[in-house]
Amino acid sequence: MASTAPRIHLVDKSDYTKQKVVPLPDAYPLPPLQKGFIRIRSRILSLTTNNFSYARFGEELGWYSVWPTLPSLSAPYNDATKYGRISSWGYGEAIESAHDDVPVGTKLFGYLPIGTLPEDLQVKPMEAPGHLLEVSERRTARVMPFYNRYVCYPPDVDLSAERGARGLEALLRPLFEAGYLLNRYTFAGPERKPLHPLGHGLPWTAQQADISDAVLVLLGASGKTSLSLADQLRHARTGEAFPRKVVAVGSEASRGFTQRTGLFDEVLLYDDVDKTNLAAVLALDKATKVVLLNFAGRGDAPDRWASRLREPGGPFTGLSVGGDPTNTAPGNFNAEVDKEGSGVYMVSAPTLRDDAILAEGEAKYFEFLDEAWTRFIDDRGGLHGVSLMWRQDIGAFESDWDGLCKGKGQYGPDIGLVYEI
């Protein structure tokens, strides 16, 4: 096996700002591969603020259970109660295979280990062509299917030759899918049964889904999930189903970038909630439906904006899509989630996808998603103004994580961090 010690990324479970890339000098040799398993190694990975959420909520949502604990870790990192491993979206390669349907060299897109240590997956083919599901007890017991599905590409696919496209997919594909799901299913037009943003088969009426002539306000609008929804609202709706306005809310630092995307009718600042007459600026009255989507609103911004947007007295819907990962207090807006009569609902892309698959059929769902992704990338070039920043060493993951946590200037919304390892 390889002579160079592999390295992995570890996070302090109690404080995700504390993390480190550590070597595993005693990792090799790896054990023999069991029948039905494949051994993968990460090749292209991405880093976004979504990774912070995986770390912060890793115990609650099972994300620390994706990869096994490692006895070869040295102290203090061998304390699994304190340190954990999360994952990143990207491309890996099957470097060994004991599975009849997955030849060595197969490339896989999905939820991958951060580092250079190979990992074993127990997989089975799915209905959608080229899709595999990880079915080990460790994964299925705690991890949602969204994170256990892998899309396969033939061994002759050269990731380096298509580096730009693969990097964009690692960076944007899961975030794009969240926006796609909201636009196509939660805000469904009359041609499609609407689906509750939390999934689980919960009721969601055509009236709740209707955003025709509504004003949509997106907090944390420069984030890539928010931008993906804005793209779908602008480019993937038909007829009378368009909202009246899609409004971005963000920081002064991100304002120029958000405006240049060309996806929003208005771009406002967080503090505009107290400095402007929102009803006048957005032309709100008692007949105007307002939908407030919180993607990454900082501090008490969701509470302040929800309060002001309710003042005109029109129909109000709030969707909690994400949030400020640095904020440990839930705030009034998030505390209202799913309370009867509040009009505020939680969004869960993984379980919303489950319902969409049930509605469309698995193969059709992914066929439609692939078509939407192709139009997004090939026809529109992805997100306007976003550039990939490539790293060639997994060690850079540690310093980039620190930079994102601290909000350093080089890590603006126009940069996408990707790693070729």
Tokens, residue 390: 């490539």
Residue 199 has pLDDT above 60, yes or no: yes
326 pLDDT band, cuts 50/70/90, is low
Tally the C-alpha atoms within 13 A of residue 150's C-alpha that lie toward its C-beta: 28
- What is the DSSP pairing of strand 215-219 with strand 119-125? unpaired
Q: Please report, rounded to a whole number, the percentage of residues in the chain having pLDDT higher than 90.
A: 88
Same fold across 7-162+388-420 and 173-352: no
Rounded-to-integer distance, Cα 179 and Cα 172, Å: 11
5-21: per-residue pLDDT in tens? Answer: 999 999 999 999 999 99
Rounded-to-integer distance, Cα 64 and Cα 66, Å: 6
21-75: per-residue pLDDT in tens? Answer: 999 999 999 999 999 999 999 999 999 999 999 999 999 999 999 998 787 898 9
| Strand order across the beta sheet in which 83-84 lies | 19-23, 7-12, 83-84
Rounded-to-integer distance, Cα 289 and Cα 32, Å: 60
Rounded-to-integer distance, Cα 153 and Cα 109, Å: 8
Rounded-to-integer distance, Cα 194 and Cα 349, Å: 14
Q: Are 274 and 286 in contact (CB under 8 A)?
A: no
142-188: per-residue pLDDT in tens? Answer: 999 999 999 999 999 999 999 999 999 999 999 999 999 999 999 99
Second-level CATH architecture of 7-162+388-420: Alpha-Beta Complex (3.90)
Whose tokens are 């939680």? That residue is 346
Over residues 226-237, the mean pLDDT reads 97
Fold (topology level) of 173-352: Rossmann fold (3.40.50)
329 pLDDT band, cuts 50/70/90, is low
Residue 275 has pLDDT above 70, yes or no: yes
pTM of this structure:
0.95
Q: Taking the alpha carbons of 223, 228, 231, 233 in that order, is the dihedral positive or negative? A: negative
For the chain, give every domain's residue range. Answer: 7-162+388-420, 173-352
Residue 125 has pLDDT above 60, yes or no: yes
Q: What value does the mean pLDDT of the chain take?
A: 94
1 pLDDT band, cuts 50/70/90, is very low
